[in-house]
Amino acid sequence: MRSISIIGAGSWGSALSLVLLNKGYDVCMWTLNKEQADEMNNFHTNKNYLPEILFPTNLQVTTDIKSSVVGKDILVLAVPSQAIRSVLNQIKDFVNKTQIIVNVAKGLEKGTGLRLSEVCKEILPDNKFVTLSGPSHAEEVAKNIPTTLVASSTDLDASKVIQDLFMTSKLRVYTNPDIVGVELGGALKNIIAFGAGICDGIGLGDNSKAALITRGIREISRLGVSMGAKESTFSGLSGIGDLIVTCTSIHSRNRKAGVLIGQGKSLEETLDEVKMVVEGIVATDVAYHLAKKLNVEMPITNAIYSVLYQGVNPNDAINNLMLREKTDEMEEKFC
C-alpha cells in the first residue's frame, strides 16, 4: 500500500486522485484555498473544476502543505507550471530522499526556459523525478473514459513504479526514457492548440486545422531535437497524440482561449472568461525566445507570439504564414 499526496486541487489533480482512490490507495490532497478544501471534505465535490463528479469520502483535503508531504511515499505536483518552483521551495524542508516526485503539469518556466524536471532538480536534487504526460483531459479521466499516458524519467525503475501506480483497465500507462521529449511535447503542444483555437474563432475550416497540426508537430520536433530530445518521441503519445487532443477537444482551455482571441476578445477578456490557467500563453513566450537563442525556425509559434505579444491581427498573422517563401515539406532533410 502506497501513500500519495496530490499537491494541487485543480481538474487534473482531482481526476488523478479518483484513479488512485479507486485503486485503494491512501490519498491526501493539498489546496491553498480553504473554501475549496471545506467543499471537498464536507460535500465531496469540486464544482469549479469537475462539477459533475462526486468524490469518495475518504479523500483527505488539507490546506496544511507540511502535513500533505510528511510520511507520503509519492508526491504528485498538480499545480500550474509557473507555480512549480514556489511549491517546491515550500515543501523542500519536509521532503525526504526516498519520496518520488511526479509532475503532471505541462509547461516551461518563464524567465529561465527550464523544463519542469530541471526546476525540480535544482531544488530537490536527490529525489527521483517522473513526469506524467500524454493526451488526456481531466473531465474524461474522471468519468473513466479510456485514456493513455506516458511516464517518463531518467530512472527507469521510478517510471515503472508510476506506471504501475496509475495503470487501470481504463488508464493505460507507457514508459519512455526520453524525458526531454516528453516534457517538451507536453509544453509546446499548448502553443499549437492556441493557434487551432484562433483558426476556429476566425471561422477557418478543417483544412486549415489539419495543416496547423501537421506543421505544428514539425516545429515542435525541430525545437525538441535541438534541445536533446529524440525525434521519435514526437510521433508518440506525448507528441502528436497530445497535440491532436488539445487542438480538437472542447475540454481544451488553450484551444478555448484561442477561439476567444480569434473572435476579437482581448487577452484580459479571454483569461477572465476561461477562468483557468492557459499554459500556452507563457509557453509561446518561452518557446519564441528559445527558438531565437537556438536558431530554430518556428513560424507558427512566431505567428502566435505576434498575436499575443505584438498586437498583430490574427488574420494578418495567418496571411503572413501562408505567404512565406516556398520550400520543400521536408526542408530540414536538405540542410
Q: CATH number of the domain at 3-177, out of 1.20.81.30, 3.30.1300.10, 3.40.50.720, 1.10.110.30?
A: 3.40.50.720
* Farthest-apart Cα atoms in the chain, separation: 62
**The pLDDT value given to residue 201:** 95
**Average pLDDT along the chain, 335 residues, taken 10 residues at a time:** 92 97 96 97 96 95 97 97 96 96 96 96 98 96 97 97 98 98 97 96 95 96 97 97 95 93 92 87 95 96 95 94 89 54
For 135-148, write each residue's pLDDT tens digit: 999 999 999 999 99
Burial of 250 (0-12, 13-18, 19+ CB in 10 A): exposed
pTM for the complete prediction?
A: 0.94
Q: Percent of the chain scored above 90 by pLDDT? A: 91
Q: Which residues contact 135 (CB under 8 A, 6 or more apart)?
A: 147, 148, 237, 241, 242, 244, 245, 246
Per-domain residue ranges of the chain:
3-177, 180-325
Burial of 325 (0-12, 13-18, 19+ CB in 10 A): exposed
| Spatial separation of the C-alpha atoms in residues 111 and 87, rounded to whole Å | 17
CATH assignment, 180-325: 1.10.1040.10
Beta bridge partners of 6: 29, 76
Q: Please count the residues of the chain.
A: 335
For residue 11 the three cell numbers come to 481538474
Decide if 72 is catalytic: no
Q: Which residues contact 120 (CB under 8 A, 6 or more apart)?
A: 77, 84, 88, 101, 103, 127, 129
| Spatial separation of the C-alpha atoms in residues 23 and 167, rounded to whole Å | 9
75 closest CA partner among 67, 136, 231, 58: 67
| Spatial separation of the C-alpha atoms in residues 287 and 292, rounded to whole Å | 9
HSE toward the beta carbon, residue 220, CA cutoff 13 A = 33
Q: Which entry of 128, 189, 209, 256 is annotated as an active-site residue?
A: 189
